[in-house]
Amino acid sequence: MSEIRIAQYFKLTTASGVVHRYQNYFVGASSSYLSESYGFAPFQASGALATLNGDNETLQVLFPNLEVVLRLVEQANGNRLSTLQFTNAWLNASDQILTALTDYYVGIGASFSETTVELRFRSAIDSVGSAFPARTLTRENVGPLPLNSELYLR
């Protein structure tokens, strides 16, 4: 397939339960996804990544500095108490959804410029960090310690 059409669906729920739904493909129109209507907003998303360590994915969603976006940020307390369902939907030539993938994020803040508002998110699930359980190798619990860095856990 050498032609790709991707619509992105942005569903943000604020701490008070208010839901904001936007999509960025159908200009000036609403689009229905899973029986919910998404209005048009000219946003773009970037930054999601996955690592072998299982670190949190990060996502930045860039909006123009519209009044409706400022309201969205304020209702989510600076985008720190929001949850986001972000869906990439592959469309066919008739703009019908063929495949859709949804990721889940939590808000971690927002930043403003004279023309844009950037909402920042991280993935909702993180891997267990290396500090758990917090144990330290000492002479008391493992015996003599090596003088160099050649340490093998068996």
Residue 115 in contact with other proteins, rule: CB under 8 A: no
SS in 3 state form for 78-107? CCCCCEEEEEEEEECCCCCEEEEEEEEEEE
Query: What mask of x and - would describe binding to other proteins in positions 75 to 104, judged by CB under 8 A?
Result: --------------------x---------
Say whether residue 68 binds other proteins (CB under 8 A): no
User: Least CB distance from residue 19 to other proteins, whole Å?
Assistant: 21
Binding segment for other proteins among 20-28, 67-75, 99-107, 122-130 (CB under 8 A)? 20-28
Kindly report the number of other CB atoms within 10 A of residue 99's CB atom. 10
Least distance to other proteins from the beta carbon of 96, Å? 12
Locus of tokens 């939590």: 106
Q: Name which of 130, 20, 40 is nearest 82 in CA terms.
A: 20
Cis (ω within 30 of 0) for the bond into 42? no
Residues lying near other proteins in the complex (CB under 8 A): 1-6, 24-28, 40, 95
